[in-house]
Amino acid sequence: MNKRSEEQLNAMVNPNGSDLTVNGYRLVTVDDLKRDAESIAMLQAANATMKALGYTEHGQRHAGLVGNIAQNV
């Protein structure tokens, strides 16, 4: 996995300029993950594995649904 610089993480986590922090740490949103190339690649690989095992779709759509539900908890 690639290590990212603090500037890259800040740009990814804070695209609209709002400062989402808890105890000095930036929060990652569902939208941040939807745009992150590394997260997308991992979801695609996991979905291909799940499909090979006979499971239904568990890719980006599923991750978005679960992420939105978790965000509301």
| Residue 6 reports pLDDT greater than 80 | no
pLDDT band at 22 (very low <50, low <70, confident <90, very high): confident
| Residue 68 reports pLDDT greater than 90 | no
Residue of 13 and 21 predicted with greater confidence: 21
Residue of 41 and 2 predicted with greater confidence: 41
- CA gap 33, 24 in Å, rounded: 20
**Helix 37-52 to helix 60-72 angle, to the nearest 10 degrees?**
110
Yes or no: say if 39 and 59 are a contact pair by the CB < 8 Å rule.
no
The pLDDT of residue 26: 80
- The pTM (predicted TM-score) of the whole model is 0.57
